[in-house]
């Protein structure tokens, strides 16, 4: 009887240890998941001192039509760099505007509201801030500039940058498709004792 009692007690201890191991594993995975979320979110691109200055929902077309109405307002816009030039005044960017996601990163879409200019009053290496790179800018609207674009005069909203965020390059996605021949267009014919070309 005592042997049976100790055997049952031993089984309970083993089961408890197994349960504790499972609990520890679950807790470990939970902590790993939490840490992953924290790092994936990353640091906010909008400094707290600038966040309260940003006026939302000001569009490029609004500034193009009534620049004086929005002059002095601070906006957060973003897009793809088309040109970047180092000038005496600083670094000048021509940007194709793109909508921003919840993180403030320009989306990869085939629509744009237009173009705008950014002046950053310092030196930035245009080999890094190169055409094709995505940026988000917090800047003050200074007015508009009318410049040639092809054979037309284009009205560019002009920002003086308070902060520019250069987004990291995303790895290029390559989709590989395999083409399978279907009967009766399959180029191989089967006949004893092997496959052969007709």
- Pairing relation of β-strands 152-166 and 194-196? unpaired
Give how many domains the chain has, as a whole number: 2
Q: Give, in order, the Cα–Cα distances in Å from 98 to each of 24, 59, 106, 173, 189.
A: 46, 11, 6, 20, 53
The predicted structure's pLDDT at residue 23? 41
* Residue 5 belongs to domain spanning: 1-42
Which CATH number belongs to the domain containing residue 81 in this structure?
A: 2.40.50.140
Same domain, 107 and 148: yes
Question: pTM to 2 decimals?
Answer: 0.67
- Asked if 136 and 47 touch (Cβ cutoff 8 Å), the reply is no
CA end-to-end distance (rounded Å), the chain: 82
- Does 36 share its domain with 96? no
> Encoding tokens for residue 13?
């201890």
Statement to judge: residues 161 and 65 lie in one domain: yes
HSE on the CB side for 48, CA within 13 Å? Answer: 0
Consecutive 10-residue averages of pLDDT for the chain (198 residues):
52 60 47 39 75 95 97 98 98 98 95 97 97 98 97 98 95 62 52 50
Regarding whether 64 and 160 lie in a shared domain, the answer is: yes
Q: Same structural domain for residues 53 and 21? A: no
Same domain, 78 and 151: yes
Distance, CA of 195 to CA of 189 (rounded, Å): 6
Measuring CA to CA, which residue among 87, 63, 89, 88 is closest to residue 77? Answer: 63
Q: Which two tokens stand for residue 184?
A: 């009766």
User: What's the confidence (pLDDT) of residue 45?
Assistant: 84
> What would the two tokens of residue 102 be?
């919840």
């Amino acid at each position: 009887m005592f042997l049976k009692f100790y055997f049952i007690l031993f089984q309970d201890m083993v089961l408890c240890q197994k349960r504790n191991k499972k609990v520890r594993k679950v807790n470990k995975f939970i902590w790993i998941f939490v840490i992953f979320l924290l790092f994936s979110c990353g640091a906010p691109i909008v400094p707290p001192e600038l966040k309260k200055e940003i006026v939302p929902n000001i569009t490029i077309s609004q500034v193009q039509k009534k620049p004086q109405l929005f002059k002095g307002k601070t906006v957060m816009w973003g897009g793809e760099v088309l040109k970047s030039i180092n000038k005496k005044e600083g670094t000048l960017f021509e940007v194709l505007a793109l909508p921003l996601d919840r993180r403030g990163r320009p989306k990869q879409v085939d629509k744009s509201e237009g173009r705008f200019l950014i002046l950053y009053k310092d030196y930035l290496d245009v080999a890094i801030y190169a055409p094709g790179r995505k940026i988000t800018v917090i800047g003050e609207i200074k007015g508009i500039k009318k410049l040639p674009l092809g054979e037309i005069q284009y009205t560019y909203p002009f920002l003086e940058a308070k902060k520019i965020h250069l987004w990291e390059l995303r790895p290029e996605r390559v989709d590989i498709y395999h083409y399978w021949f279907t009967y009766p267009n399959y180029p191989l014919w089967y006949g004893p004792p092997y496959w052969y070309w007709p």
